[in-house]
Amino acid sequence: MKQIGHFIAGGVTTGSGRASDVFNPATGEVSASVALASAEEVGVAVAAAQGAFRDWADTPPIRRARILDTFKSLIWQRMDQLAEAITLEHGKTFEDAKGEVLRGLEVVEFAVGAPNFLKGEFSENVGRGVDVRSIRQPLGVCAGITPFNFPAMVPMWMFPVALACGNTFVLKPSERDPSVSLLLAAYLKEAGLPDGVFNVVQGDKEAVDALLAHPDVRAVSFVGSTPIARYIHQTGCANEKRVQALGGAKNHMVILPDADMEMAANALMGAAYGSAGERCMAISVAVPVGDATADKLIDTLLPKIDALKVGPGMDLASEMGPLVTKAAQDRVNQYVGRGEAEGAKVVVDGRNFTAPQGYEGGFFVGPSLLDGVTKEMSVWKDEIFGPVLSVARAQNYAEAVDLIHAHEYANGTAIFTRDGDAARAFSQDIEVGMVGVNVPIPVPVAYHSFGGWKASIFAEHHMHGMEGVRFYTRLKTTTARWPTGQRDDPQFTMPTLG
């Protein structure tokens, strides 16, 4: 059986002690065993990163950028290798996995611009003979704790910017799909990254807690569920670390009566059922305004749902793959049943899905569509993280907005309309971090920044883009005067310039 270990100080280590099974979601079979790091092993990785920090921080930004540029080229060349590794352990379709890699690659492309975004600022002669300059300097050892649903993209939201800024990095990926992390580490080494600058520790809560407690870890980035994000933030801050912790989501899409219904339905298909709904930016609640709009939306969706091809991710005909684990499969099925018990109408029941021949043991669930969902129901309140689309009808625009504002999460949202006034008002007034106008999954491009509001984030800075640069650096301002032969008398009041 394949053994998946850690990557520390430039080499793969097998790990010692505990391990966990890794499954192929399409078959349900165990495909590998992954080591689970102890606190001591985490300490070894942090020590390697700490030892490499000073030399890496002193490396000119242009040289750091060249290494990342070579890394970028290797990803382009080996995208299929990464995508296959994702599909075989996560379950998403091969084409979806390639799309994930591409979105992560965008952040690497942004990070290659480090010499530009690390230039700093300078003001000459702010007072007679006095100059001021501001620079951004790296923090030290940074850690990334990443989720199973994007094993390539989310780590690449973090470490390329951290490395470009002169930090070293320890990645703790999900133990459910760990292989991609070692491929990324190998590519970085091949690109010329010095040993110890990037490290990987596989593991579970023990590894997470060790990173949160280690005094040499200066910053922690996290993406996952809200309860864990809150824990990461509280624990990391209590240990005097800089923390950005992105949590859960329940994303709504408002469909106004004037919307292009075919466009809206196609958008919902991808946003609700793509990657089997295992996305923090998935649209899980459609909010049509008016019963006529709702009826038309459902009528447009039904033949598309019926035609959706569900199968193993490596089958290029598949449009939706299995869920990541048996526990995830059971959870989704239970939520559909709970929605029905609470009064929702199950228009399409994914619990009845029959797996393709030869994949009967896979963790498959079909697409589900629930109508008549209200904010009192668990299917509206909870992040299901599966292919379940709820339709929550609103009688007017204000009711639709109130429904969104009533939720504890505020990660992403969208509106579909031809009305520019309504779209502009929605974009301005909605209390959600990322907004789409006729765009169902408004994930910002890499040179902007990703992050929600409310219980979807615990941080002062969002991820990647210039927000990422600000998170992975600290500001230093120097005010300087050079002797000119003129001497000032002592001053005992607040000094002023000008």
Q: Hey, which residues are catalytic here?
A: 280
Nearest CA among 335, 286, 277 for reference residue 310: 277
> Token pair for residue 76?
């382009």
> Token pair for residue 244?
């950005």
Contact 148, 32 (CB under 8 A): no
Rounded CA-CA distance 271/280 in Å is: 10
Contact 168, 52 (CB under 8 A): yes
Rounded CA-CA distance 83/313 in Å is: 10
- The residue assigned the tokens 């990391």 is 236
Nearest CA among 168, 190, 197 for reference residue 73: 190
What does the DSSP 8-state code read for residue 112?
T
Helix, strand, coil shares of the chain, percent, nearest 5, are: 40, 25, 35
> Token pair for residue 124?
């000459």
Nearest CA among 49, 11, 7 for reference residue 203: 7
Contact 104, 76 (CB under 8 A): no
Rounded CA-CA distance 350/336 in Å is: 8
Rounded CA-CA distance 492/361 in Å is: 79
- Containing 164, the helix (H) or strand (E) segment is helix 153-164
Rounded CA-CA distance 195/60 in Å is: 17
Contact 292, 257 (CB under 8 A): yes
Rounded CA-CA distance 248/413 in Å is: 13
What does the DSSP 8-state code read for residue 176?
T
Segments of 148-241 assigned E as strands? 168-172, 198-200, 217-223
Burial of 131 (0-12, 13-18, 19+ CB in 10 A): middle
Contact 251, 413 (CB under 8 A): yes
Segments of 185-304 assigned E as strands? 198-200, 217-223, 242-246, 251-255, 283-288
